[in-house]
Structure 1
Amino acid sequence: MKHYDVTEIKGVIPANLTIFDEKENLDDSRTKEVLDFLLDHDADGFYLTGSTGACFTMTMEERMHTVETVINHVNGRKPVIVHVGDIGTKKSIELAKQAEKAGADAISSVPPFYWKFSQDDIFSYYRDISESVDLPMIVYNIALAGIMDEGLLQRIAQLDHVKGLKYTARSHDEMGFLKEKLGKDFMIYSGCDEMALSGFCFGADGIIGSFYNVIPDIYKKIENSFREGNMPEAIRLQKMADEFIFACLKYDFPSVLHNLLRWRGVDGGYIRRPFCNYEEDDLQALKEAIREIRDRLGAKELDVFEI
């Protein structure tokens, strides 16, 4: 059973990596090590089997196994959102039911993609999934699956079990409008790591993103500085995080996140093909770039990397 109301799911929430071993099998031991690292650094929740988690390289059984492994290990210490998105509604319903049984606190989904689905098709997709379980649904608006316009989002938000939106776009004026329009109990999560501070400024209840796997502590400082009204410090930290992210995005994403975890002393395992796995020699230029950012900005926060 779930442990948290959706209105309690706030703050810095990593979009979790799925951890594989050298032979591309799920690695439960390394998964738990990464979770312990995130728990130790005050992550406020977990978002499982999403795009950062390479969910579309996984079988249904693997996605379900990952959900069970994480929920059992977290054991109610933090809320867990399970991404159940797929092209087929029937598959997503099956994933949603398993997430509910495993003890998830909420489900989430990208809209159906690949084919050009109509707005009615997309609305029906969310209606059918959200009505299949007694869990809050967090709609996921992201360009990779096709951005839904504000009108469609408001229509979907009227469904009984739809209680939130993960908004991965830079148009924070629209995100802020939706938060104002849909009310304080309709949860909005900003999904652009490089615009986390902007997300908070425009009313986001929390942030869900990929780089929170490796620098959750920096983003907790951004949030805390914002909440305390220390905007100069929040801006400094966001600019530093952005330079770090831009340096990393010169490499295949999310492959490089696994290497970044290793540089923090955490065994982040491997990713599954067709994503590449970098050897350390492949990333010497990235190490130099991070050192340069750290030294130029006086960013002691980046001392956490063993480079």
Structure 2
Amino acid sequence: MTTTAPFGRALCAMITPFSADGALDLDGAQRLADHLVSRGCDGLVLSGTTGESPTTSDAEKAALVEAVREAVGERASIVTGVGTSDTRHTVELALQAEKAGADGVLVVSPYYSRPPQDALEEHFRTVADASGLPVVLYDIPGRTGTRIEPGTMLRLAEHPRIVAVKDCSYDFLGAQKVLARTELAYYAGCDEHNLALYAVGGAGYVSTVANVVPAHLRSVLDAFDSGDTATAARAQQRATPLIESMMAAGLPGTVTAKALLNELGLPAGPVRAPLRPASHETVDGLLAAYEDLTAG
């Protein structure tokens, strides 16, 4: 079982700030990145699901890495999403990420085409062979349509540059099977699993909710590490209403995170179509959950 955390323990799946007209807001990205790192984030995951990667250009993805690296320096790791439905394009983005200064790449299963497991394995190996950056496999079958099966994970773990998994599989048994047999660092990709996966040997989390409560989520891991598991459990439970409001209320986490950040006066801006902003009623509910958590 691994106890290493190659990119840190507390990682935020950072939103991508846009200006009012929908353009990439690099100044806002730098300010938000600094805010998150100063409040306990060990690493930032850019251009993932929460970062609206399907609607940002290759050039915007590179510019985002460069800007955030300038803002945080070596205070935090930077992992950037390079996964697409095209292996060649994914390789190009991995090479671009390496040049831009990323510490690792997040590679999602190719979506829509639903490749079988042998083709999926070859895709990840090809990307891992293409650059010198370590690879985080992103297992989120609810969005891609394709699971990275535990057997495939076990084989991919043999590759020297495939070092971690962002786990959104909702298969806790499968995750534990791979944890027990490999050195892969498992990061919870669903906030309700942050403490549970950590407690069985996970490396930490890649959290959307950390955009708005980075210090609180970090405190869960800190309490567990100090041996105070009861405090860790209470802190995780206290975050549950906000996690539910942001991640399980029918809207993508990008929409809810940006809605809250805008209300809190932090850089966010609009979402890009086809996503639409949260309604006033939804924003009111999010703010209530946020205030209940942070009031104590």
Q: Partner residue of 1:252?
A: 251
Greater Cα offset, 23-32 or 279-288: 279-288
**Scaled by the length of structure 1, what TM-score is found?**
0.88
Change (3 A) 1:212 1:282: closer
State the shift of 1:27 in Å: 0.6
Look up the equivalent residue of 2:249 and give its one-letter code.
Answer: K
Number of aligned positions between the proteins = 289
Q: Is there any run of 5+ residues in structure 1 with no aligned partner, and where?
A: 1-5, 295-300
SS in structure 2 of the partner of residue 140 of structure 1? strand
Q: Partner residue of 2:211?
A: 213
Q: Partner residue of 1:303?
A: 295
Asked if residue 164 in structure 1 is aligned to residue 164 in structure 2, the reply is yes
Higher Rg: 1
Q: Partner residue of 1:110?
A: 108
Q: Is there any run of 5+ residues in structure 2 with no aligned partner, and where?
A: none
Q: Partner residue of 1:85?
A: 83
Separation (CA, whole Å) in 2 of partners of 1:166 and 1:32: 24
**Scaled by the length of structure 2, what TM-score is found?**
0.91
Change (3 A) 1:289 1:37: closer
Separation (CA, whole Å) in 1 of partners of 2:105 and 2:154: 18
Contact 2:260 2:287 in 1 (8 A): no
Select which of 209, 223, 226 maps to 2:224.
Answer: 226
Separation (CA, whole Å) in 2 of partners of 1:240 and 1:32: 29
Contact 1:168 1:192 in 2 (8 A): yes
Q: Summarize the alignment of residues 229-240 of structure 1 with structure 2, pairs less than 5 Å apart.
A: 229-240=227-238
State the shift of 1:135 in Å: 1.3
Q: Partner residue of 1:125?
A: 123
Q: Partner residue of 1:298?
A: none
Q: Partner residue of 2:21?
A: 23
Asked if residue 174 in structure 1 is aligned to residue 174 in structure 2, the reply is yes
Q: Partner residue of 1:155?
A: 155
Greater Cα offset, 154-163 or 128-137: 154-163
Contact 1:45 1:78 in 2 (8 A): yes
Greater Cα offset, 118-127 or 256-265: 256-265
Percent of residue pairs bearing the same amino acid type: 26
Contact 1:252 1:275 in 2 (8 A): no
Greater Cα offset, 173-182 or 213-222: 173-182
Contact 2:219 2:232 in 1 (8 A): yes
Greater Cα offset, 168-177 or 57-66: 168-177
Separation (CA, whole Å) in 2 of partners of 1:50 and 1:224: 25
Contact 1:30 1:269 in 2 (8 A): no
Separation (CA, whole Å) in 2 of partners of 1:22 and 1:264: 16
Separation (CA, whole Å) in 2 of partners of 1:175 and 1:11: 17
SS in structure 2 of the partner of residue 131 of structure 1? helix
Contact 1:175 1:202 in 2 (8 A): no
Separation (CA, whole Å) in 1 of partners of 2:159 and 2:103: 18
Q: Partner residue of 2:134?
A: 136
SS in structure 1 of the partner of residue 41 of structure 2? coil
Greater Cα offset, 45-54 or 255-264: 255-264
State the shift of 1:251 in Å: 5.4
Separation (CA, whole Å) in 2 of partners of 1:289 and 1:100: 39
Separation (CA, whole Å) in 1 of partners of 2:177 and 2:282: 43
Separation (CA, whole Å) in 1 of partners of 2:49 and 2:151: 25
Look up the equivalent residue of 1:120 and give its one-letter code.
Answer: D
Contact 1:247 1:290 in 2 (8 A): no
SS in structure 1 of the partner of residue 130 of structure 2? coil
Separation (CA, whole Å) in 1 of partners of 2:5 and 2:237: 29
**Could you give the per-residue CA deviations for residues 255-280 of structure 1, whole angstroms, max 9, x where no partner exists?**
12112123434232221111112365
Q: Summarize the alignment of residues 258-273 of structure 1 with structure 2, pairs less than 5 Å apart.
A: 258-273=258-273
Separation (CA, whole Å) in 2 of partners of 1:283 and 1:49: 24
Contact 2:241 2:289 in 1 (8 A): no
Separation (CA, whole Å) in 1 of partners of 2:149 and 2:178: 11
Q: Summarize the alignment of residues 17-96 of structure 1 with structure 2, pairs less than 5 Å apart.
A: 17-96=15-94
Separation (CA, whole Å) in 2 of partners of 1:36 and 1:269: 17
State the shift of 1:193 in Å: 0.6
Separation (CA, whole Å) in 1 of partners of 2:233 and 2:163: 30
Separation (CA, whole Å) in 2 of partners of 1:16 and 1:288: 22
Greater Cα offset, 57-66 or 19-28: 57-66
Separation (CA, whole Å) in 2 of partners of 1:150 and 1:251: 29
